[in-house]
């Protein structure tokens, strides 16, 4: 595991401290790991949703190639 130093504004640091004091996380690293995991999940969902917008190509490949060139 590597260590990353991330500067944050004071209001975000206060949020982190309050979040940890509330018992919802043990430390700042745990909060950042959880946030990064959620970000990764959101990006995976976004990629799937973006892919679903792509047209589905069916039929004869020569005819499809002609349509794509036009």
Instruction: Spell 11-44 as b/e; 16+ CB within 10 A means b.
Output: eeeeebeeeeeeeebeeeeebeeeeeeeeeeeee
Query: Which residues in 8-68 belong to E strands, given as ranges?
Result: none
Query: 47 in a domain, yes or no?
Result: yes
Query: 15 in a domain, yes or no?
Result: yes
pLDDT in tens, 15-42: 999 999 999 999 999 999 999 999 999 9
- Structural domain of 16: 10-53
- pLDDT value at residue 57: 66
Report how many domains make up the chain: 1
């Amino acid at each position: 595991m590597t260590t990353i130093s991330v500067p944050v504004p004071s209001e975000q640091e206060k949020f982190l401290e309050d979040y940890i004091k509330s018992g919802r996380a043990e430390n700042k690293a745990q909060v950042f790991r959880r946030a990064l995991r959620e970000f990764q999940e959101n990006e995976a969902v976004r990629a799937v949703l973006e892919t679903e917008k792509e047209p589905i190509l069916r039929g004869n490949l020569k005819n499809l190639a002609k349509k794509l060139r036009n």
